[in-house]
């Protein structure tokens, strides 16, 4: 890999209706091959103001990849490989709460993972690991997002639970009401396993959820359709871009180690004895977390 590609960057994952960043300059596209297969698309490297970023369309060019078939392991591995240390993820969601209307922003701090069909870990037989996940979102990133959202006078809620459903069909009304009774704030199909894999990759991760609809629970509002999601995302794109651009300026100043410990998640994670670790799995994990093989004596035990 060209060395100039690998500088400290902010990874930005764009979801439905957010296929590009409006003010990106010095743009170049790179194809990253990973031991986990191909990411959803080439990464778009560039500068957002003074911040170096890597943008990835989650559903691929022209929205070809459905939520359950996104190769999230490759997406996260590719972002890490080009030097990303923080990942800002954007997702169009249904709102489960009256006070998070379409057009607002929810700075998510928790998830309920209801997905069933997806590859969710870089670990496995021969290399067993369990990362802490009580606080799945990086507090330093979420604080920065809240400050910028306030400065931009965006309607936003700081904190909220994102229920991740399998899809691709939207929920039944009974399910939607069940998720509300669980304390869900928003519902979408893509935040998992993204957040889990970001933690295993020792990346800081934050999720900006953008409600486009009230799912199907709210009788006096239109129930969700894919067309409604696209239409509402078009309306919010300029505000979403402003939030991303301004928060990247703050995130790019995060040079020191993460106070929440996101960048050291593997320190306490690995169960398999060093002499019993599968060498191929170590190499694959090493693509994502190079320190695990670069410093066998000093890296995670």
Ligand X SMILES: CSC[C@H]1O[C@H](OP(=O)(O)O)[C@H](O)[C@@H]1O
Q: Is 58 annotated as a binding residue?
A: yes
Query: In whole angstroms, what is the distance from residue 202 CA to residue 266 CA?
Result: 7
| Residue 92 lies near ligand ADE (rule: CB under 6 A) | yes
41 is in an annotated binding site: no
Does 240 help bind ligand ADE (rule: CB under 6 A)?
A: no
Q: With respect to ligand X, which residue has the nearer C-beta, 187 or 265?
A: 187
Residue 215 interacts with, from ligand ADE, ligand X, none (CB under 5-8 Å by kind): ligand ADE
Nearer to ligand ADE, 2 or 99 (CB): 99
Q: How far is the CB of 246 from ligand ADE (least distance, A)?
A: 24
Q: Is 214 annotated as a binding residue?
A: yes
What distance in Å separates the CA atoms of residue 87 and residue 85, rounded to the nearest whole number?
7
Residue count of the chain, please give it: 301
> Is residue 192 marked as binding?
no
- In the complex, the smallest distance separating the C-beta of residue 198 from ligand ADE, rounded to whole angstroms, is 20
Residue 42 or 194 with smaller CB distance to ligand ADE: 194
CA distance 248 to 9: 10
Residues 6+ positions from 156 with CB-CB distance below 8 Å: 104, 105, 106, 107, 146, 149, 150
Structure tokens at 164: 């991740």
Q: Rounded CA gap, 205 and 181, in Å?
A: 27
Q: Which of 11, 39, 46, 67 binds ligand X (CB under 6 A)?
A: 67
Separation CA 239–CA 105 (nearest Å): 10
Judged by CB under 6 A, which of 187, 208, 236, 243 binds ligand ADE?
187
Residue the block writes with tokens 């939207």: 170
Q: Tell me: does residue 283 bind ligand X (CB under 6 A).
A: no
Task: Report the C-alpha gap between 177 and 94 in whole angstroms.
Answer: 12
Q: Judged by CB under 6 A, which of 107, 164, 224, 262 binds ligand ADE?
A: 224
| Minimum separation from the CB atom of position 150 to ligand X (A) | 24
Q: Confirm if 79 and 37 have CB atoms less than 8 A apart.
A: no
Q: Which residues are known to be catalytic? A: 213, 215
Binding residues: 16, 58-59, 91-92, 189-190, 213-215
Residues that bind ligand X (CB under 6 A): 15-16, 58-59, 67, 91-92, 188-190, 226, 229
Residues that bind ligand ADE (CB under 6 A): 92-94, 165, 170, 187-189, 212-213, 215, 224, 229
């Amino acid at each position: 890999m060209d060395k100039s590609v690998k500088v400290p960057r902010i990874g930005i994952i764009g979801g439905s209706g957010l296929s590009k960043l409006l003010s990106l300059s010095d743009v170049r596209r790179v194809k990253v091959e990973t031991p986990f297969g191909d990411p959803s698309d080439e990464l778009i490297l560039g500068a957002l103001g003074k911040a170096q970023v890597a943008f990835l369309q989650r559903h691929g060019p022209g929205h070809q990849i459905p939520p359950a078939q996104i190769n999230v392991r490759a997406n996260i591995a590719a972002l890490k490989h080009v030097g990303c240390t923080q990942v800002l993820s954007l997702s169009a969601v249904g709102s489960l709460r009256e006070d998070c209307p379409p057009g607002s922003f929810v700075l998510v701090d928790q998830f309920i993972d209801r997905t069933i069909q997806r590859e969710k870990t870089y670990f496995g037989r021969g290399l067993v690991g369990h990362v802490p996940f009580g606080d799945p979102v990086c507090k330093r990133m979420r604080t920065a997002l809240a400050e910028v959202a306030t400065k931009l006078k965006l309607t936003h809620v700081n904190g909220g639970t994102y229920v991740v459903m399998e899809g691709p069909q939207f929920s039944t009304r009974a399910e939607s009401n069940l998720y509300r009774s669980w304390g869900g704030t928003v519902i979408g199909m893509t935040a998992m396993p993204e957040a889990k894999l970001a933690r295993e990759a020792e990346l800081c991760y934050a999720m900006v959820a953008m409600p486009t609809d009230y799912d199907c629970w709210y009788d006096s509002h239109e129930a969700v359709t894919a067309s409604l999601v696209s239409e509402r995302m078009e309306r919010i794109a300029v505000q979403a871009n402003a939030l991303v651009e301004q928060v990247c300026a703050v995130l790019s100043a995060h040079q020191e180690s993460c106070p929440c410990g996101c960048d050291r998640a593997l320190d306490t994670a690995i169960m398999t004895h060093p002499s019993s670790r599968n060498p191929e799995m170590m190499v694959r994990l090493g693509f994502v977390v190079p320190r695990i093989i670069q410093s066998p004596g000093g890296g995670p035990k």
